[in-house]
Chains A and B, each alone.
Chain A
């Protein structure tokens, strides 16, 4: 017997969720008082300095401008637009070999994620795929094994939906015995993004190839260097699974699976195989590495939950949060995201006193199934200490638990599917720290 020399550190070191446990480096790169990235600060300082030197015209408000924009013709149209140079939202990178990047949730409004800020989690890098030579093979328990080109896929009737996708390792840092108070919404839950996903329903393709009635699973594989594979129950194929080729109106980005990926609404992101090249219908799961060694949830009774696909209800306040500091007592709009893989968010409650009292937040329309929902709650900060929490309830009656409830059910070793209530402690000085309950 080999001795149990397997301690010290997380067992899934390459998994993104773990890396939030000690993300001091990421946090340090941000200025505590303003919440701006260092790059933004430098850019801002440069702009301010330029303004002082050229001392442009004022526009009646006593504001110094480098140049009065009403006195010179503006720039001409451009073939591809870009952000204002004053806006520099960035993804947060972690991991060395596979790795991930996290969406700056605190910088976003509404529910959509700009495609270039969409989170990434991949196990073997981003492949470069020529759309002209791309093929999707569907075979196995079908009457007609077929190859589809990208153009073939686009000829089928299209489906298009606003949907979130979330890595099941998202929020893993919130389970840590003493979570880092300098976490941001991005460092905790940034493996979450929302887009309009367009493509062809997998049911349409399975009709086309003559899927066999006794197939129980379909095995999907990507054409990345890991040839990432996952097994998916056929029920999902006939429900709402799709092969997506577009995201927010444009072709899917390479990081998101260009030119085509599996998309499984509401399910853990890893199963939505990117760069998909092969689907095999089968009467058993493939037991791939990423559904055995990884992405399984050990339970206190000595078992591990497998194929735990659905992302349960969850919410996070994204504003105000660390590293922002409240400047003075008065009105503060508390706002954030709620989402559930089981359908609709029915209710979001906000507490400002650590859970002693709860208030219904306003849910911003549209409230869509398996999509992020924006919630808002208007709060008068009296200048005293406060503890801001949010909890979501979905249409099945499931309410986001406190951390201890999850630990009771799954044990302290749990990592994936972290959905306990997130919180933010506000100090008298207006400083804010990550403080889940």
Chain B
């Protein structure tokens, strides 16, 4: 632990102002530039409320020295999220036909209905004519994978981590690919004979893909 760093922390040198970001960088001794990240991710432009990086970096050396370095395998065990760019999608594949079997075998059918429309729990299936997005104007509309979800990667991610609800995280990756295929098929987003793999999940263009905008509420007198 660097004592100088501890003192600077205590003195509050780690200020919050972006203008002082260079101070944090200087702290780290790494000469990190303040400024916007050149993030390659396309969606950042439309959804990032902070408009890029803060430019502030952590310390070059541990400040307190508490904690234990995490190993690659420890990280891999928990690093389960799938990015909208497909990062994290596992190898493997499944077919829509297998997915329809999984839908019954893993009892999705009991809670979401034979075609994902019948409930009793969240409605999975349903498109809106013309793929319109009139949710704000019609209180009776229900969101579904087909009319509201912007990314199929999210469908893989959520299904794998959280479903089936009462036995979450018990499906193989192949089963998840297959049942994701079934849900996309229910929504007329894949044909019945489709084979689903990581490329298919990334490439499936969801009808609501471009519907999401960043928060424009800023405080002040305007009601948004």
Give the interface of A toward B (CB within 8 A).
1-14, 97, 123-124, 137-139, 142-149, 152, 155-157, 177, 203-204, 206-217, 219, 221, 225-227, 229, 233-235, 238-239, 277-278, 280, 282-289, 292-293, 296, 298-300, 302-310, 312, 342, 394, 396-399, 401, 405-406, 408-414
Task: Select from chain A the residue with minimum beta-carbon distance to B84.
Answer: A287
Question: A114 CB to closest chain B CB, in angstroms?
Answer: 31
Among candidates A144, A203, A221, residue contacting B62 with C-beta atoms closer than 8 Å: A144
- Residues of A within 8 Å of B133, CB to CB, are 298, 302-304
Whole-angstrom distance between the alpha carbons of A351 and B125 in the complex?
47
Task: Select from chain A the residue with minimum beta-carbon distance to B142.
Answer: A11
Given A207-B59, A284-B41, A411-B136 contact (CB < 8 Å): yes
The 6 A-B residue pairs with the shortest CB-CB distance in the complex, in nearest-first order: A411-B136, A396-B219, A6-B126, A284-B41, A298-B135, A11-B142
**Do the beta carbons of A124 and B162 come within 8 Å of each other?**
yes
Whole-angstrom distance between the alpha carbons of A309 and B132 in the complex?
26
Whole-angstrom distance between the alpha carbons of A130 and B221 in the complex?
47
Among candidates A97, A292, A305, residue contacting B154 with C-beta atoms closer than 8 Å: A292
Among candidates B40, B151, B213, residue contacting A283 with C-beta atoms closer than 8 Å: B40
**Do the beta carbons of A6 and B220 come within 8 Å of each other?**
no
Contact with A along B134-164 (1 / 0, CB 8 A): 1111111111111111110110011001100
Task: Select from chain B the residue with minimum beta-carbon distance to A402.
Answer: B223
Main secondary structure of the interface of B (DSSP, over half): loop
Could you pull out 29 A-B pairs where Cβ atoms are within 8 angstroms? A7-B140, A137-B75, A139-B70, A139-B79, A146-B69, A148-B66, A148-B68, A203-B14, A208-B59, A213-B34, A214-B53, A216-B37, A216-B48, A221-B78, A233-B49, A234-B53, A235-B50, A278-B79, A287-B150, A289-B158, A293-B143, A293-B145, A298-B135, A299-B213, A304-B213, A312-B219, A396-B218, A405-B223, A411-B135
Among B34, B78, B168, B216, max chain A CB count under 10 A is at: B78
Whole-angstrom distance between the alpha carbons of A283 and B40 in the complex?
8
Q: Which of B109-141 contact A (CB under 8 A)?
A: 117, 121-123, 125-129, 132-141
Question: A55 CB to closest chain B CB, in angstroms?
Answer: 55
- Residues of B within 8 Å of A144, CB to CB, are 62, 69
- Stretch in B25-33, B91-99, B191-199 touching the partner: B25-33
